[in-house]
Amino acid sequence: MNEFSGDKAEIILAERRYKAITDILESTVNKTDENAWTYTDLFDHVFLHKFLGIPIFLALFWATFQFTFVLSEPFMVIIEMIFGWLGSLAEAGIGNPHLASFVSGGIIDGLGSVLVFVPPIFTLFLALSILEDSGYLARAAFVMDRIMYKLGLHGRSFIPLMMGFGCTVPAIMATRSMDNESDRLITILVNPLITCGARLPVYVLIAGVVFGAGQAGTAIFSLYIMSIALTIIMAFTFRKTLLKGKPSPFILELPAYMVPTAKTVVLHMWERGKVFLKRAGTIIFGTVIIIWFLSMHPWAATAGGELVGNSYIASLGHYIEPLFAPFGWDWMAAVALVFGFLAKEVVVATYGILLGVGEEAVGASLIKLGLFTPLTGYAFMAFVMIYVPCIATIGIISKETNSYKWPIFVTVYLTALAFLIAGLIIGVGRLLGFS
């Protein structure tokens, strides 16, 4: 069929299928007004507009992050208050100092510093669910396809990439719907660059510390834009080098717009958000206990956890610190990044334990100790966004590509890219006079 018509067989089949549907509809449905514009026609003319489509998408995307960051702030304060109260209760009620340190400093501070980010994560998923259920997200895929196709990404990549804003693992599994192997592989390789929900706690903490509440939302938005830009650039690079060829055509049926119902929006939010809660109860909890142990021991040398600088974890941190010193990050950042390989949320939990403060004071402690300037803080967030994906993502890449080669490749290229981008941010920033 390809040789005979010069077109792709799937396009011809799709055209025939839609012609058959149109014929059936014409012979069976009576329209009251042949020329009536529906709301879907009216809004599609705007949202799919040649020039306005992308600016509107970016504006709505920015609104999503403002909504996420500002709206979740009071709820984060409430959770901080609850964990702060639990911490003081544990310290006062447990006589054994070792056990008190474990419960208060390890479990409550460590886990609390992660759980405090439940509100922004759920708020982000709420906003994404509204966009999806209203039918807008499919339009965003359509609008972005114009750029994505030119840069070597298949339009169908958009859905797995959008899912990547939630969690990379199901996003990579969603690439199974792509029948062209090189399109699918490119989508898998670039998907970890899409900033998943697990990285949001790091952004919220660091951006809040270095940019303040007023500008934090904008700083986080810029990171998401950087994430999309890097995804497109890397896809283009892979298309031109490793996986040459043209992406296959994209056929997408746009659903009619609708007013989302509260029930489905909440259900979709919960489906996405529960992954975070599950991780908090399993891998994050386990890692927090390991970090607590390494930061409090040897018990005598750290004077019962008072002198974290003498702990095992500090030794590890000082050993790898030179790798990150050019970026202006200390040993705590080095340790946080290493443990962040297990799950990105652990970066925040590590600070909670190492600073020895409750979750309500992690940000204030970072400011007080002056561990980050706006420049080094922004570079740190960019590094967290790009560097080696979490262990679950590496596992799923291995499973979906049925090889060890691609997960190793992803780990190496993302780590190299993270060093490159963080270095560029620091270099250019210093040239512009930032410290």
Partner 1 sequence: MSEGDEDMTDFNLKTGKTLGIYAFSLGALYLIVGLLEVLGGYGESIPGDLFGGLALVVVATTYLSGVKGTLNGDYKGLSLLMGGLFLSAVFGILYLLMLGADGLMYLLGEAEEIPGLVDFRPAIWFFILSLPLIHHIRNMTQKTTW
The residues of the shown chain that bind partner 1, judged by CB under 8 A, are: 33, 35-43, 45-47, 49, 52, 55-56, 58-60, 62-63, 66-67, 70-71, 73-74, 77-78, 81, 218, 221, 256-258
CB of 128 to partner 1, least distance (A): 14
Measured from the CB atom, the residue of 219 and 366 that comes closer to partner 1 is 219
CB of 280 to partner 1, least distance (A): 23
State the Cα–Cα distance between residues 340 and 387, nearest whole angstrom: 10
State the Cα–Cα distance between residues 67 and 270, nearest whole angstrom: 18
Measured from the CB atom, the residue of 74 and 370 that comes closer to partner 1 is 74
Cβ(360)–Cβ(81) under 8 Å?
Answer: yes
Measured from the CB atom, the residue of 218 and 398 that comes closer to partner 1 is 218
State the Cα–Cα distance between residues 221 and 385, nearest whole angstrom: 13
Measured from the CB atom, the residue of 47 and 324 that comes closer to partner 1 is 47
Structure tokens, 303: 């004077």
CB of 425 to partner 1, least distance (A): 18
Cα torsion angle, 64, 66, 71, 73, sign? positive
CB of 58 to partner 1, least distance (A): 8
State the Cα–Cα distance between residues 149 and 247, nearest whole angstrom: 7
Structure tokens, 397: 């890449």
Measured from the CB atom, the residue of 227 and 295 that comes closer to partner 1 is 227
Measured from the CB atom, the residue of 305 and 374 that comes closer to partner 1 is 374
Cα–Cα distances (Å) from 320 to 297, 412, 423, in that order, read 19, 18, 17
Cβ(375)–Cβ(435) under 8 Å?
Answer: yes
Measured from the CB atom, the residue of 52 and 417 that comes closer to partner 1 is 52
Cβ(376)–Cβ(328) under 8 Å?
Answer: yes
Measured from the CB atom, the residue of 94 and 225 that comes closer to partner 1 is 225
State the Cα–Cα distance between residues 412 and 424, nearest whole angstrom: 18
CB of 220 to partner 1, least distance (A): 11
Q: Comparing C-alpha atoms, which of 202, 183, 241 is closest to residue 363?
A: 202
What's the distance, CA 288 to chain centroid?
A: 21
Q: Is 128 exposed, middle or buried (0-12, 13-18, 19+ CB in 10 A)?
A: buried
Place of tokens 């600088």: 309
Give every CB contact of residue 412 below 8 A, 6+ residues apart in sequence: none
Q: What distance, in Å, lies between the first and last C-alpha atoms of the chain?
A: 62
Q: Is 170 exposed, middle or buried (0-12, 13-18, 19+ CB in 10 A)?
A: middle
Amino acid at 92: A
Measured from the CB atom, the residue of 13 and 78 that comes closer to partner 1 is 78
